[in-house]
Amino acid sequence: MTMETTSIDTLIVGAGQAGVAMSEHLSKLGVPHLVLERHRIAEAWRTARWDSLVANGPAWHDRFPNLEFDDVDPDGFASKEQVADYFVAYATKFDAPIRTGVEVKKVVRNAGRQGFTIETSDGAIEANRVVVATGPFQRPVIPPIAPAAGKLTQIHSADYRNPEQLPAGAVLVVGAGSSGVQIADELQRAGKQVYLSVGPHDRPPRAYRGRDFCWWLGVLGEWDAEVMRPGKEHVTIAVSGARGGHTVDFRRLAHQGISLVGLTKSFDDGVVTFEQDLAENIARGDENYLSLLNAADAYVARNGLDLPEEPGARDIPPDPACLIDPVLDLDLAKAGVTSIIWATGYAVDFSWLDVDAFDEKGKPKHQRGVSKEPGIYFLGLPWLSRRGSAFIWGVWHDARHIADHIVTQRKYLAYRDPSQRHADGHREEVPGSAFPDSRVHKVSEMGVS
C-alpha cells in the first residue's frame, strides 16, 4: 500500500515513548504531523529486552503524566509487555497519527527551498521539520576486546532472553549496570555458575525511609541535573525492579554465589584478564549508595518530614572472598565458561540522516534537542536536557519543549508583511507551513495502525 501522505508539516521518526510523547504535544498544539515507525509502537519494549524484564522504576513514576497504568500497582514494577501495552493505549487515547511498518531510510535537506525530503520503505514524503525519536539505544555495542568467534557463545544483552537460551556451563557477564546485574542474578538463580565483571557504577538504594529512589532523585533535584558530573562519564547505574524491586548490592550477589571480577581487560588464547579495580569499584559504589542516604537524611531533617528512620540501611555486608582476593586471570575452558554476555551498552545510528546536525565525532549538535540544522530535532537521547531525558518520565517533558519550539518557528514563518498580506487577499494558510493545507492528507484519519 502506498502512503497517502506525501507531505506533512512535522515528521516524527520512531514510535517508542519519545515519538508518542512528541505526537501528543504536537496534537495538543494543533501541529499537523505524522509518526513513522518501522516496526510496532514501543517495539523495543516488546522484542529488544529479556523475557523477565520489568521497569526499573515503580509504575507511579515510570509513566507519562496523563495516564496511569491500569493493571499495575503504583508501587509495583510493570513488565516489559505492560510498558509496551501502556504506550499503545496512550497513543490510542489521543488518536496519534502513527504509521507502523514504515522505515525511514534517508532524510535530506531540500536545496533552495524549505524542508526535507524523506525516503521511506513506502515511498517519499516531504516535511518542514523532522523529529528524530529513534531511541537512545539503537545499536548494541560489543567492545573490540571480544575474542574471535570460536566455541564460546557470545551475545549482547539486547539478544539475551532467558537462561534456557544458553548452553550448559558457566557464564561471564561483562558489565554490571542495570542490565548486566539483573541478567547475572537471573542466571545464577537458574543454577548457573556466573562471573560478573564489575566496572565503575552508582548503586542507589531501591528505597530508603519508605520512599523509592526515584522519589529521592526527584526531590533532591538529581533527575533534573543538566550535566553529568565530571568523571562520571563512564559510570553506569545499577538498579533493579526484579522480584518486587531490591537494592543492588554486589557483596550480597557474591554471597549468593556470583563470582565478582574487575573490569574485563583482554582475552588471549582462551584466558581473560581483569583489571585490579574490583575493590575500588565496589567501594565507590558504596560511597554513592551512602551519599544518597546522607542526602536523604539531610532532606528529611531540613523539611521536617515524618519518614521512619532506617539505620539498618547503612549495614554493609562483610567482604566476600572474591573481593578480598580477586581473580585477575581466568582460563575460560578450565573454569567451564561456555558463554559471554556483553552487557556493554548501546550506540546511536544516524547514518540515514543526511543533514548538517553533527559534530566532527558524529554526535548530534543540539540545545535541548533543537539541532543546529534548522528543522531537525532530537528527542530521547541520554542527557538531552537533563539526567531524566532518556527515561520514560523525562522524555515527555523534553518533547513539550521541542513542540513549543516548533510552534514558535511556525509563527515566525507564518508572518506576512503588509504587502504580502495585501497580495494574499486574506487567504488562509497552514501557519508556518511550506505546504498548503490541501496537501496534508489523511493524517488525522490514520489513527494507530
Ligand X SMILES: Cc1cc2nc3c(=O)[nH]c(=O)nc-3n(C[C@H](O)[C@H](O)[C@H](O)COP(=O)(O)OP(=O)(O)OC[C@H]3O[C@@H](n4cnc5c(N)ncnc54)[C@H](O)[C@@H]3O)c2cc1C
Residue ranges in contact with ligand X by CB under 6 A: 13-19, 36-39, 43-45, 49, 53, 55-57, 62, 103-104, 133-137, 179, 352, 380, 390-392, 395
Whole-angstrom Cα distance, residue 406 to residue 186? 45
Q: Which is nearer to ligand X, 141 or 316 (CB)?
A: 141
What is the smallest separation between the CB atom of 134 and ligand X, expressed in angstroms? 4
Q: Which is nearer to ligand X, 78 or 332 (CB)?
A: 78
Helix (H, G, I), strand (E, B) or coil at 9: strand
What is the smallest separation between the CB atom of 42 and ligand X, expressed in angstroms? 6
Q: Which is nearer to ligand X, 225 or 290 (CB)?
A: 225
Q: Which is nearer to ligand X, 69 or 137 (CB)?
A: 137
- For every residue of 348-372, DSSP letters joined together read ---TTEESS-B-TTSPBPEETTEES
What is the smallest separation between the CB atom of 30 and ligand X, expressed in angstroms? 23
What is the smallest separation between the CB atom of 94 and ligand X, expressed in angstroms? 16
Contacts of 103 by beta carbon, 8 Å cutoff, 6+ apart: 36, 38, 120, 121
Residue nearest to ligand X (CB): 16
Whole-angstrom Cα distance, residue 251 to residue 323? 8
> What cell numbers appear for 344 in the block?
556493554
Do 409 and 59 touch, CB atoms closer than 8 A? no
Q: Which is nearer to ligand X, 15 or 253 (CB)?
A: 15
What is the smallest separation between the CB atom of 86 and ligand X, expressed in angstroms? 11
- For every residue of 145-191, DSSP letters joined together read TSPPSSSSEEEEGGG---GGGSPSSEEEEE--SHHHHHHHHHHHHTT
Q: Which is nearer to ligand X, 9 or 62 (CB)?
A: 62
Whole-angstrom Cα distance, residue 58 to residue 54? 9
What is the smallest separation between the CB atom of 381 and ligand X, expressed in angstroms? 8
Gap between the terminal Cα atoms of the chain: 13
What is the smallest separation between the CB atom of 285 and ligand X, expressed in angstroms? 19
- The secondary structure of the chain in percent helix, strand, coil, rounded to multiples of 5, reads 30, 20, 45
Q: Which is nearer to ligand X, 86 or 195 (CB)?
A: 86
Helix (H, G, I), strand (E, B) or coil at 207: strand
Whole-angstrom Cα distance, residue 127 to residue 122? 15
